[in-house]
Amino acid sequence: MLAFREEIDRLDTQIHDLLMRRAEVVTEVGAWKRGQNAIVLRPAREAEIMRRLAARHQGPLAFGAIARIWREIIGDMTMMEGKFTIAVYLPEGDGVYWDLARDHFGVLPALAVHLSAGSVLRAVSDDTSTLGVLPWPQEGDSDPWWQYVQRADDKSPRIVARLPAYGPSNAPSALVIARAPMEASGEDRSFLVVETLKEISRTRLLSRAGAAGFTVEWITDQLDKPGLPGLHLIEVEGFVTEDDPRLHALHRDNPDEIGQPRVIGGYPMPLRRK
């Protein structure tokens, strides 16, 4: 028994030393980024780190535990690189987005409570908060927040990540908005906002998107009544940038039905518990 505990003490010392060393390296990364005026948060890199660890993981400890520890490490170390505040949507009586934010970004960042999604968007737009945590878009929401996300550039907030980074696929999801650069992680999804100019069924819109070359994962509408002219949020496979020829094709091939779509961000695919 004593021998086991001595071994555990030695391992703890090594883990602690390595974490302190990792924090020093991340501090250097932070200094380098400040010199370059580069944005601190890199969701694509974070996803790659998690995927690499998941692929090599073995032994009796469930990967969910490793994922949680690494989210704490990465979240807290991101905060060391620059001052972060996170605006979190916290509807009365529902702390799910708060928990998702804390689990993802660690104990260090300050979380600010916002009672509406619009208020989260404003906080990130006017730089009161670095990041915003918003609910996954709900069907039937008459005033969905995504319609106010302008486009995927570095100046206005866009969707950059999905929470949780690891978990069952039916877990409640949140989306993170920030003014961060677009970066592909190798396994990504993107969000397009598409304006329909006349009455068109969802099936027709989806087949148009397919014909333009997109693989559609999910769609929701700004209106309670899908089919009427209006805005549609379409989640597609892969990393899509503003200059993607498929965006142009969707409008060009259906000029009376579909306006020029815009990209409002996307996210690296989270790891899924098998």
Ligand X SMILES: O=C(O)C(=O)C[C@]1(C(=O)O)C=C[C@@H](O)C=C1
For ligand X, the closer of residues 73 and 197 by Cβ is 73
Q: Which of residues 48-67 bind ligand X (CB under 6 A)?
A: 49
Measured in degrees and rounded to the nearest 5, phi and psi for residue 249 equal -60, -40
Min dist CB 171 to ligand X, Å, is 22
Using rule CB under 6 A, residue 188 touches ligand X = no
DSSP conformation class of 254: S
Tell which positions 64-123 bind ligand X, by CB under 6 A.
74, 77-78, 81
* 241: CB partners within 8 A, 6+ apart: 152, 182, 263
* Nearest CB to ligand X, comparing residues 177 and 193: 177
- Amino acid, res. 220: T
DSSP secondary structure string for all residues of 252-270: HTSTTTB---EEEEEEEPP
Residue range at the interface with ligand X (CB under 6 A); choices 44-52, 185-193, 216-224, 225-233: 44-52
The string of DSSP letters for 31-56 reads HHHHHHT--S--HHHHHHHHHHHHHH
Identify the DSSP state of 93. T
Task: Pick one of 34, 45, 83, 248: the residue that binds ligand X (CB under 6 A).
Answer: 45
Q: How far is the CB of 161 from ligand X (least distance, A)?
A: 10
Which residues lie across from 111 on neighbouring strands?
A: 86
Report the alpha-carbon distance of residue 253 to residue 259 in Å, rounded. Answer: 10
Residues 6+ apart with CB under 8 A from 246: 212, 213, 214, 240
Per CB under 6 A, 130 contacts ligand X: no
Residue 162 interacting with ligand X (CB under 6 A): no
Binder among 46, 103, 221, 235 for ligand X (CB under 6 A): 46
Residue 240 CB neighbour total at 10 angstroms: 23
Task: Name the residue nearer to ligand X (CB basis): 28 or 224.
Answer: 28
**Position 41 contacts ligand X (CB under 6 A):** yes
Binding segment toward ligand X, per CB under 6 A, in 37-45, 104-112, 151-159, 226-234: 37-45
Which residues in this chain contact ligand X in the complex, by CB under 6 A? 26, 29, 41-42, 45-46, 49, 74, 77-78, 81
